[in-house]
Structure 1
Amino acid sequence: MYYFSSPAVLLSSIAGLAILSNASALEKRYTSPTAPFDGCLWQVSKVGAFNSHLNVSNWKTLPSSLKATDRTGGPARVKWDPSLVGVDANDGSLTLTVPGGQGTCTDDKPCGSAQITTAYDDVMYGSMRTVMKTPNVWGTVSAAFFYSDDNNEADIEMQTGDVTHAHWTNQDWYGSNGLTNTSVVANTSAAYHEYRLDWVPGRTDLYVDGKLLQTYTKFVPRTSGFWMWNSWTNNGSWTLGPPSMDAVMHIKSIDVYFNRTSIAGCGSA
């Protein structure tokens, strides 16, 4: 495994509450079809038309459209460290590492974690597909999500010691703490799976390996922001960390169709 660094960016995600199980396990990876480009927009079937497309599967360097976060906080007791973003020498996947043995995370000594985000904060609606696998060690959370602020956030999150569940959240921390449900999925650490978040006006749809597992029509994000991917710990009740050994999240590919509010018509990420 080797590492590379990239400039700073912003905040992060939190996770949630209530649980709803879905009994059907998903056993093999499925990749959503490529959306056709009509010369102006990418047409995503049953979702919408979008003016931007980000597709990354070669992780030798971070593309200019993505950045590694370099900051402390968001959430508390976390230090986002670009040196913990790397590439797996065996399969070429992007790695987001939370080092093991960090001891108790405190405000004075936050725990090292890894995050990448889009280099722009004007994402407004889209279809995000991430092919990834989680660590099989307790003490971190792996996530792929949209973030504007704590009241406009849609998450896919996994507690890494629990390799058979995925948590879906629309956040509303200033209101009633949003919605969180949990679905049973195939082992999240044994193989790569595609996790997909579709965000359109008034609705978020969440898929694993092409199977729709959750739809929300409440607390849907209403403001523009970032796409984000992270692996983190802060010894809180959600992450249950820090981990005793290195916890490495692997991202094989990212494929996202979305609108940028700064692009008036046709454009590309």
Structure 2
Amino acid sequence: MFSMMREALAAMPWLILAMSPLANAACECGYSVNASTSDQFTSYTDLMENDFLHTVVDNITEAGWRVQVYNVSSTVLPPQPYGKNFTLENVESNPLKDKYSWTGDSENGGDAGLRLWVRGDTSNGYVQSAEVASVREDILHGSFRIGMKLSGAGATCGAFFWFHSDAQEIDMEFLSKDFTDTQSLVNLVLQTPESVAAGYDASNTSEYKKQPLYFRPDEKVHEYRYDWAPGSVKFYVDGTFVYEMTENIPVDAGHMLMNHWSNGNALWSGGPPKQDTYLTVTYVKSYFNTTNTAKNNAYKSRCANWNATQVCEIPTQTVAPDPSGADGNTTANTYFFSLDGTDKVPGQDVYPSTNGGSSLFGSTSISIYVPVMVALFSWAFAI
């Protein structure tokens, strides 16, 4: 019996691999929203992932982002109470102390992640603010996701957006003055030729939506997402679809940005805040197509014959990915292809992190491995 059992166990790895969806080692043909059998299936060639809970870099450009340094005078039309000054010092990397954990104390205190500061000192007539932009400017269509906790100062604007020009822009903007215990909201905005004609004001166009939220965005980290396709932009919160826009959709390539600012405008940002305040980004995950010729040629080379089994499905985040609280090590430990082995990111730009605690290793594969192993053990011992 034991001889037969040893033979069965020796064969087990091959049987597991044969039955596992991970038997196709690499994602040579890209990354998809939904399974290939779904009528909502969409695939993308490229990815950009940042695990800011574990990112330690001297220069954030090493992580695929550039700090934006510029100012906007209060006298620029229309005049505002204060100018905005975006500086290097207001962007801070603040990783977890324990690189093997997804929760706990941060290096500099407070919330762990990438912190974008707005300062309370306005003595020079400017509000000190923060903005970062992706190094890649070749992004055309995709699924874009951010884990973010907003400021609760009641006087700032925080945003996650894609930008080509003032007439082609996709925004998710949060005004902390709108956060209350009874109702909060996110502003879903497309800047379009129509909004440019209205003085860069999208509020009276069909591409503007005040989307109610069932929580306060300044209390914990949630995932905010938009999926951009030809003729459509769909918005999601913690994986739940909330709204779709189908008019004046962008058609050119651009880049991603995150910012946090105030200029005292009572009709928008409010404020400015009376003390320093920050918003926190725990991750950004983007899956997209590119207009970069070299990257497209590389994709065509590794995916010469498109095969659905070589497209990796992007997991949908269905709970708030928050690192605080007793279950933070579970909720914040979200999936990253780039932390799941080099075979999951063929030809992709992968950015550094301390990455002591690995990302969730494909719970789907574990759920398949276990029944197979149980069945094989049961069969072996029954002989």
2:72 aligns with: 73
Cα distance in 1 for residues equivalent to 2:348 and 2:145: 17
TM value normalised by structure 1: 0.79
What is the alpha-carbon root mean square deviation over aligned residues?
2.1
2:209 aligns with: 181
1:235 aligns with: 264
Q: Of Structure 1 and Structure 2, which has the larger fraction of its residues in helix?
A: 2
Cα distance in 1 for residues equivalent to 2:174 and 2:269: 9
Q: How is 1:14-93 mapped onto 2 (pairs within 5 angstroms)? A: 38-45=27-34, 46=40, 48-57=42-51, 58-61=54-57, 62=60, 63-73=62-72, 77-88=83-94, 89=107, 90=109, 91-93=111-113
Q: How is 1:141-180 mapped onto 2 (pairs within 5 angstroms)? A: 141-163=157-179, 164-172=184-192, 173-175=195-197, 177=202, 178=205, 179-180=207-208
Judged with a 3 Å threshold, the aligned counterparts in structure 2 of structure 1 residues 47 and 257 are, in CA distance, closer, same or farther, namely farther
2:228 aligns with: 199
Asked if the contact 1:47–1:200 (Cα under 8 Å) also holds between the matched residues in 2, the reply is no
SS at match of 1:161: helix
- Tell me which moved more, 139-148 or 257-266: 257-266
2:121 aligns with: 101
1:33 aligns with: none
* Paired letter, 1:223: D
* Equivalent of residue 224 in structure 1, options 233, 253, 266: 253
Q: Which runs of 5+ in 1 are unaligned?
A: 1-35
* Paired letter, 1:184: P
TM value normalised by structure 2: 0.56
2:153 aligns with: 137
* Paired letter, 2:230: P
Cα distance in 1 for residues equivalent to 2:84 and 2:348: 33
SS at match of 2:249: coil
SS at match of 2:178: coil
What CA deviation, in whole Å up to 9, does each residue of 1:224-251 have, x standing for no partner?
1111111011122311121111120000
Cα distance in 1 for residues equivalent to 2:254 and 2:291: 10
Judged with a 3 Å threshold, the aligned counterparts in structure 2 of structure 1 residues 223 and 249 are, in CA distance, closer, same or farther, namely same
Tell me if 1:268 matches 2:348: yes
- Which entry has the higher C-alpha Rg, 1 or 2? 2
Asked if the contact 2:177–2:270 (Cα under 8 Å) also holds between the matched residues in 1, the reply is no
Asked if the contact 1:51–1:268 (Cα under 8 Å) also holds between the matched residues in 2, the reply is no
Judged with a 3 Å threshold, the aligned counterparts in structure 2 of structure 1 residues 114 and 255 are, in CA distance, closer, same or farther, namely same
Percent same amino acid among aligned pairs?
A: 23
* Equivalent of residue 259 in structure 1, options 282, 289, 312: 289
Q: Of Structure 1 and Structure 2, which has the larger fraction of its residues in strand?
A: 1
Cα distance in 1 for residues equivalent to 2:73 and 2:290: 24
What is the aligned length?
Answer: 230
Tell me if 1:117 matches 2:133: yes
Give the deviation of 1:195 after TM superposition.
Answer: 0.3
Asked if the contact 2:112–2:280 (Cα under 8 Å) also holds between the matched residues in 1, the reply is no
Give the deviation of 1:175 after TM superposition.
Answer: 4.0
Q: Which runs of 5+ in 2 are unaligned?
A: 1-24, 35-39, 77-82, 95-106, 300-346, 350-383
